[in-house]
Amino acid sequence: MRNPSKKSYRHDPTRKTLRLEYGPHVRFLPAALAAELTGVSVKTVYKWIAGTHPIDARTRQVLYTRALGLLPDERWTRWHIDENGRLTAPNGWTFHPDELLGLSYLKQLNGALQADVARLTVENRMLREALDHAQANRWPGNVVAFPTGTKKPGLSRAKGPQVP
């Protein structure tokens, strides 16, 4: 089966086309293309165009997916597949199917990284508490730290006392 081209989506008033509409997405499919996409006869498509026979729900969903590129589940609202076969997100980002295969690997790596961060956070908290406890017990209350001395002018260790 061939992919519908952009030319097949244009409305041509001289030809009978099937108008396929879902929200802001509108496509005009020639009867032969609509028949090929859904697996029905061209005569059935002409009955849909004339309005004598309604399109059943499954066939309509196939047309939405194959011609409009929309995905059939509620969770995929506002996602679609463009003419190049790329999955397009609501924010405009596009993905090729091969790119999506790496997402599960990235998710596993992210889970492992979050577990390491949680473990290191607990270890860091325990070490800080131990350090605070050690610093609090470092100097007993009855011991005063020895004051540091200051150099007197004129004394040098290397040369001894200097004579003026």
Compute the average pLDDT of residues 92-110: 83
Instruction: Kindly provide the residue ranges of all beta strands, DSSP E only, lying in the chain, ordered along the sequence.
Output: 17-22, 25-30, 80-81, 87-88, 94-95, 155-156, 160-161
Lowest mean pLDDT among 19-23, 26-30, 153-157: 153-157
pTM: 0.46
Question: Which DSSP category does 70 fall into?
Answer: B
Please give the single-letter amino acid code of residue 127.
Answer: L
Collect all residues with Cβ–Cβ distance below 8 Å to 145 and sequence separation of at least 6.
139
**How many Cα atoms within 13 Å fall on the side-chain side of residue 144?**
3
Spatial contact of 65 and 74, defined as CB atoms under 8 Å apart = no
The contacts of residue 30 (CB under 8 Å, 6+ apart) are: 8, 15, 17, 18
Paired with 161 in beta bridges are 155
Residue type for 16, please?
Answer: K
Which two three-digit tokens encode residue 19? 């108008």
pLDDT exceeds cutoff 50 at 1: no
Query: Does 6 have pLDDT greater than 60?
Result: no
- Mean pLDDT, rounded, for 131-158: 69
Is the pLDDT confidence value at 125 over 90?
A: yes
